[in-house]
Amino acid sequence: MFEKLEDLLLRYEEVLASLQDPATLSDPELYRKTMKEQAELGPLAAAYRAYKEAEATVREDTELLGNEKDEEMRTLLKDEIAEAKNTLAAKEQELKILLLPKDPLDEKNVVMEIRAGAGGEEAALFAAELYRMYLHFAEDSGYKTETVEYNETGIGGASRITCMITGRGAYSRLKYESGVHRVQRVPKTESGGRIHTSTVTVAVMPEAEDVEVEIDMNDIRFDVFRSSGNGGQSVNTTDSAVRLTHIPSGIVISCQDEKSQLKNKDKALKILRARLYDMKLREKQEQEASARRLLIGSGDRSEKIRTYNFPQGRVTDHRINLTLYKIEAILNGSLAELIDHLAAADQAEMLANGGG
């Protein structure tokens, strides 16, 4: 491990030097790639330097301790050695995590689909609430969001929502949200005060590039229709909404968010590409069933991953047996604590499996 770290530290110093080179500065694409490499290697370099400093402190202070007679000085040296050893252990663990193989999808943008499941109108209401939760989380994280499809129901719920969330590392944070979300509360429509259980399914897919999924345009049928629901002056006046049907897979996507028919077509194609890419990834994961991603990274759509219990004010993630009594804050977008715990569990599983 340390031999590899020495090589990475040398590479980091080369990257820093390259950023001062006029040849790099004058080439926008090379500069972008070099900056990206610096950002990736920076945390590793900082952790390894801290490790080496702590290692040097232990070595030097141990040598001094062997020759020191003054008791007060000996106590100070022992305290320094103990602190440096704690730093060594912490930095070694941090380095192991930083050296874990990166998920190549982590830096991608996200296509998210939220669908009301069991529970009728109450499930649709909760689907709309989850959507608002993700919008708040995205905003707090510096990500951008675009609504592609929003099928509103009678009393403010939504049967199905499709949106795009763009920003560096969006998939790395949101990939843990795939699965069945269960809500337990007294619905607004319930006059008897009984607690109901409803479900919403969330699917998080990485956005796919053109080169990753080839689409034959002859396999696609486009239909146009007039937008409905909330919107600007063009709603109900122009045929700007688009319905895309991918004949081989049977996938149907509707998009009416934009006033431009062309922009709606473009968004619908992005969603189709993401869905086809997701299908390809899932097939691969099924073939590699013995590999990792058994705990939380699988995104199994049928798996009940989380319960939101309103009477008790709690949110429980069943994959890691974590309960937080912060339901209001979480539904307002404060998902970071939950996601951090899930990411830590994912890393721990990888370490236990030898980093693979």
pTM: 0.71
pLDDT of residue 134: 96
What domains are there in the chain, each with its CATH number? Answer: 2-98 (no CATH), 110-288+297-350 (3.30.70.1660)
pLDDT of residue 184: 93
pLDDT of residue 126: 94
The answer to whether the CB of 265 falls within 8 A of the CB of 254 is no
In angstroms, rounded to a whole number, what is the distance separating the alpha carbons of residues 315 and 42?
35
CB atoms near residue 196 (< 10 Å): 16
pLDDT of residue 193: 76
Residue 208 tokens read as 């796919």
Indicate the pairing of strand 314-317 with strand 322-324: antiparallel
Q: Which residues contact 274 (CB under 8 A, 6 or more apart)?
A: 111, 205, 206, 207, 208
Element (H, E) at 205: strand 196-206
The position carrying tokens 């499941």 is 117
What is the DSSP-derived secondary structure letter of residue 103? P
Nearest to 114 by CA among 144, 148, 140, 143: 148
pLDDT of residue 295: 43
The answer to whether the CB of 47 falls within 8 A of the CB of 94 is yes
pLDDT of residue 53: 92
pLDDT of residue 355: 58
Would you mind telling me the total number of residues written for the chain in this entry?
Answer: 356
pLDDT of residue 211: 62
In angstroms, rounded to a whole number, what is the distance separating the alpha carbons of residues 199 and 301?
12
pLDDT of residue 288: 55
Residue ranges, the chain, pLDDT below 50: 230-237, 290-299
